[in-house]
């Protein structure tokens, strides 16, 4: 069993090294997009499919509260449907709109949508990105592999942070690191003395 554990660590390390070489400028671009929106008094709305939603929650909470250092809160929100809304959507066969409907209700032009979409094929993420684009939001998408259908929705001003891995697990691990890197860069830029 220890060999399996060591193999997981090794695969994770290799995926992160491959991602670093490719993604450092893309992650910087995403942090800049979010930073510029915050400076323009806009908000960041976050969501993710499946286990990726935990990374979306971490991003929103780290912007609201802190990553490592006490500082003023930044306007971010994870789109977290409750049990009732999830049940209503499933009854109405609209589960693909789990995040899109609340997004349409609260998003403003210039807000940033951070969509964490695993391999990029989730119908709920596709509908959410479409809703964000219809509201003139900028989109930061975290995907993996070839970016899936999500990559095809993004425009030239949007950011596609595509993890170079076909493994959903390795992609999720790197997404978490990307989220931490984005918030760390924003914190240190906005609050350099903290």
CATH number at residue 140: 3.40.50.10490
Parallel, antiparallel, or unpaired: how do β-strands 76-78 and 44-48 relate? parallel
Total domains, the chain: 1
Q: Which of 3-12, 74-83, 162-171 has the lowest mean pLDDT?
A: 74-83
Q: Which residue has the tokens 């998408």?
A: 141
Closest by alpha carbon to 175, among 105, 100, 125? 125
Q: Which two tokens stand for residue 105?
A: 């209700």
Candidate ranges 30-39, 49-58, 62-71, 79-88; pick with highest mean pLDDT: 30-39
Average pLDDT value for the chain: 90
Predicted confidence (pLDDT) per residue in 76-116, tens digit: 999 986 544 554 445 555 667 778 988 999 999 999 999 99
Whole-model pTM?
0.91
Is the confidence at residue 66, as pLDDT, over 90? no
Q: What is the pLDDT of residue 83?
A: 46
Q: Are 140 and 34 in contact (CB under 8 A)?
A: yes
Q: What is the pLDDT of residue 69?
A: 82
Coil, strand, or helix at residue 108? coil
How large a percentage of the chain has pLDDT more than 70?
A: 92
Q: What is the pLDDT of residue 82?
A: 54
Coil, strand, or helix at residue 137? coil
Predicted confidence (pLDDT) per residue in 9-42, tens digit: 999 999 999 999 899 999 999 999 999 999 999 9
Q: Which residue has the higher pLDDT, 53 or 160?
A: 160
Is the confidence at residue 152, as pLDDT, over 70? yes
Q: What is the pLDDT of residue 97?
A: 72
Q: What's the whole-number mean pLDDT along residues 137-161?
A: 95
Q: What is the pLDDT of residue 68?
A: 84
**Distance in angstroms (rounded) separating the CA atoms of residues 137 and 37:** 10
Whole domain around residue 170: which residue ranges?
2-190
**Distance in angstroms (rounded) separating the CA atoms of residues 169 and 93:** 29
**Distance in angstroms (rounded) separating the CA atoms of residues 56 and 39:** 21
């Amino acid at each position: 069993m220890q060999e399996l554990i060591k193999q997981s660590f090794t695969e994770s390390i290799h995926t992160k090294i491959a991602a670093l070489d490719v993604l450092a400028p893309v992650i910087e671009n995403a942090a800049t997009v979010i930073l510029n929106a915050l400076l323009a008094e806009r908000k960041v709305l976050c969501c993710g499919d499946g286990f990726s939603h935990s990374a979306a929650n971490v991003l929103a909470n780290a912007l609201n509260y802190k990553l490592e250092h006490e500082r003023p809160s930044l306007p971010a929100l994870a789109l977290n449907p409750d049990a009732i809304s999830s049940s209503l959507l499933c009854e109405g066969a609209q589960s693909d709109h789990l995040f899109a409907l609340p997004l349409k209700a609260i998003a403003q032009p210039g807000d940033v949508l951070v969509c964490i979409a695993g391999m990029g094929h989730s119908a709920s993420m596709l509908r959410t990105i479409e809703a964000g684009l219809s509201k003139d939001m900028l989109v930061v998408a975290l995907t993996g592999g070839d970016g899936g259908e999500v990559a095809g929705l993004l425009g030239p001003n949007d950011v596609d942070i595509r993890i170079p891995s076909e493994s959903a697990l390795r992609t999720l691990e790197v997404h978490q690191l990307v989220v931490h890197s984005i918030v760390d860069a924003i914190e240190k830029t906005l609050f350099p003395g903290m």
